[in-house]
Amino acid sequence: MTKSVYSLLLSDAVVSALDRQAYEMNTSRSALANQILAEHLSYVTPEKRLHDVFSAMENLLSEVYGFQLMLQPSDSMLSLRTALDYKYNPSVRYSVELNKSDAPSGRIKAVLRSQNGDLLSVFSRFFRLWDGVEKQFCGDVQSETSDGKYVREIGGLRGRELSPSELGEYISGYLKLLDGSLKLFFSLLSSPEEAAKRIKLAYEDFIRDEKEVLL
């Protein structure tokens, strides 16, 4: 959303009250004034949209066994972690970063906290499989896999426009599918063809139920 500089004539008392509240909220005077005006005018700012998306995700994912929500480094990111049922229970950190725009865009990351070469190799094999499944159902998915890291771009949604709560629900469902598929892959290392078949079926069920596709 474009921002410009405007001159407003305000009373000193109002500005002082605005500054006190901005300080308590750890934000700027301009950001708080913009938020207050938007709420009064029933206008949903990109910042408010992100807040509502992440609030919906926190409510849904906090109830999922194995997921642990983490302190958020910014208001445009949500992070959580889980553990793999593998040697020493290595942790995987997922993060969702959304851009402050009207259309949903950003990226989803999965990072494996390990230096074990064999583990990193299995992790990469899973995401090469995942990438192939996504491209089969979604087309041109922008993603990148490196040692212990997977990044998947979100360019938008193919389907009807979603409200913030619906978008939060969709991305939460996607993360649960991704994490469940990753853990299934690790549990079937001796049967990679069976793992691939079940992951493909799970992905197909997900997009059939949701009727939207993350691009």
Average pLDDT by stretches of 10, the chain with 215 residues: 74 85 84 74 74 91 89 86 89 92 81 90 95 88 90 74 84 94 95 96 87 65
- CB burial class (10 A; 0-12, 13-18, 19+) of residue 155? middle
Tokens of 3: 């921002």
| CA 177/CA 182 separation, integer angstroms | 9
**Residue 59: enclosing H or E segment and its boundaries?**
helix 46-61
Q: How high is the pLDDT of residue 212?
A: 64
Q: How high is the pLDDT of residue 13?
A: 86
Q: How high is the pLDDT of residue 58?
A: 92
The per-residue b/e assignment along 112-123, b for 16 or more CB within 10 angstroms, e otherwise, is bebeeeebbebb
Vertex 177: Cα angle to 173 and 183 (nearest 5): 145
Q: How high is the pLDDT of residue 105?
A: 82
Q: How high is the pLDDT of residue 158?
A: 61
Q: How high is the pLDDT of residue 211?
A: 62
Looking at this protein, which amino acid is placed at residue 151?
V
Tokens of 153: 């771009």
From first CA to last CA, the distance across the chain in angstroms is 22
Contact between 131 and 146 (Cβ < 8 Å): no
Residues, the chain, total?
215
Q: For strands 149-154 and 68-69, give the pairing.
A: unpaired
pTM given for the model: 0.80
Q: How high is the pLDDT of residue 162?
A: 75
The structure tokens 């004539």 sit at: 9
